[in-house]
Amino acid sequence: MEQTDICIIGAGPGGAGAALKLSYLGQSCILLDKAQFPRDKVCGDALSGKITTLLGRLDPAMLQRLRAQTENIDVWGIRFIPPNGKVIDLPFQIGYQKDKHHAPGYVSRRLEFDNFLIKEVRQRDNIDFRENVHITDYKKADDGWEITDKGGATHIRAKIVLIADGAHSRFSRHIAGHEKENKHHAAAVRAYYEGITGFHDDNFIELHFLPEINPGYFWIFPLANGGANVGLGMRSDFVQKKRLNLRKKMLEVIENHPEIKARFAHATLTSKILGYGLPLGSKRRSLSGDHYMLLGDAGHLVDPLTGEGIGNAFYSGFMAAEQAIDCLKTERFDADYLLNYDKRLDRVLRAEMRLSYKIQRVMQIEWLVNFITSFIAGNPRIVEILCRMYTDFDLRKQLVKPWFWVKVLFRKKK
């Protein structure tokens, strides 16, 4: 049996991020994935500022390599379209100067982005990366976990395992006990198109909050070379209640919504419409236990409002790596000690997701959203406040407080 200190299961953004962070901190690890790269994954493909910020902190040269990829398209804001159809453009930065090599965010196909991370992983001598290894069996040992692959060829004992194998994680469900709950889960479909018109000049990603898919949204994210990632997502309990076929509903939106239909008039569907699940972070769950931590989708860390999973997975990978090194230094791997990982995530990501859940619930009140957006639209001062919320979490918390909107409305009338 092979022995190691740290074994990471899953080489997506969470697992690859953890491996890279460990490597740069001088700690070796084994990284396993059941797929062979490059491989695709169904996703919205948006890379938030969390990715650029964390990569810049880890290795500015790596960040520049990401920015230089021709497959990426630089994104400078969000175009928000509420049920009343009044468009609100929210830049990520006030007074920005457009420059692809300093963009706050990007859209990159997961096929390309995940493979970018794997290329970086392959360059690190202290990361033992193995593809086509499908771990199916976990056995608790006194000093860690014994893990075995489907064919029995891989048998590893690790002091600590980092579980980053996605929304359908066997470990998360059967060992950590995190069952799917439709109230805290979203279903989504995604397809690629070419030839869509009407994008913002600075590649704003678009979120269309339509009455027939509330709570949820229809999205159009621009891609390089004239492509687009198009999809629709909705909370799973509402999908079940309304008995919706999301593939059919997405096509209905494209074919019947007047403004969207016009933009797709000469568009071509270039892929299959594929579905996937999003384990939302709207419910607090344990992310660790004796000798293990859960990362990304395996830990149900998808933002309940925006559906962001890549940035949160990457962030959790960095945190888990730092916690794993601390465990090795102190020789403590028990559940009580590993709660430090949960607490840190609570302070950063969980606080964001709790707020997103509150905003999601407000968004279900269509008349209220229409009322608020009616006086936001076309008011530069209010738009500037909302833009600052992208980087100011304390300011963002005001969104769910009625008094905030009363003050904003009163100032507008003055």
Q: Give yes or no: residues 156 and 305 share one domain.
A: yes
Q: Is residue 389 part of a domain?
A: no
What does the alpha-carbon distance between residue 37 and residue 132 come to, in Å, rounded to a whole number? 9
Q: Is residue 235 part of a domain?
A: yes
> What is the model's pLDDT at position 212?
87
Q: Is residue 103 part of a domain?
A: no
Q: Is residue 364 part of a domain?
A: no
What does the alpha-carbon distance between residue 141 and residue 96 come to, in Å, rounded to a whole number? 54
Neighbours of 330 (CB within 10 A): 9
What does the alpha-carbon distance between residue 294 and residue 272 come to, in Å, rounded to a whole number? 31
> What is the model's pLDDT at position 395?
55
Q: Give yes or no: residues 7 and 142 share one domain.
A: yes
Q: Give yes or no: residues 308 and 209 share one domain.
A: no
Helix (H/G/I), strand (E/B), else coil: 265: coil
Q: Is residue 411 part of a domain?
A: no
Look at residues 90, 79, 83 and name the one whose alpha carbon lies nearest to residue 371: 83
Q: Give yes or no: residues 142 and 65 share one domain.
A: yes
Number of residues in the chain: 414
Q: Give yes or no: residues 131 and 205 share one domain.
A: no
Read off φ and ψ for residue 180, nearest 5 degrees.
-65, 130
**Alpha helix segments (H runs only) across 257-334:** 258-263, 310-330
> What is the model's pLDDT at position 407?
61
> Range of 218's domain?
182-279
> What is the model's pLDDT at position 414?
47
CATH code at position 38? 3.50.50.60
Q: Give yes or no: residues 120 and 151 share one domain.
A: yes
Q: Give yes or no: residues 120 and 264 share one domain.
A: no
> What is the model's pLDDT at position 82?
86
Q: Is residue 371 part of a domain?
A: no
**What's this model's pTM, rounded to 2 decimal places?**
0.90
CA dihedral for 128, 130, 133, 134, sign (positive or negative)? positive
Q: Is residue 164 part of a domain?
A: yes
Q: Give yes or no: residues 244 and 344 share one domain.
A: no
Q: Give yes or no: residues 30 and 115 share one domain.
A: yes
Q: Give yes or no: residues 313 and 341 share one domain.
A: yes
> What is the model's pLDDT at position 129?
98
Q: End of a domain among 279, 295, 311?
A: 279
- Residues in the chain predicted with pLDDT less than 70, given as ranges, are 371-372, 374-414
Q: End of a domain among 279, 303, 328?
A: 279
**Distances from the Cα of 264 to the Cαs of 193, 200, 210, in angstroms?**
9, 15, 17
Q: Give yes or no: residues 171 and 263 share one domain.
A: no
DSSP character string of 241-255: HHT--HHHHHHHHHH
Question: Kind of pairing, strands 29-32 and 127-130?
Answer: parallel
Q: How many domains does the chain have?
A: 2
Q: Is residue 367 part of a domain?
A: no
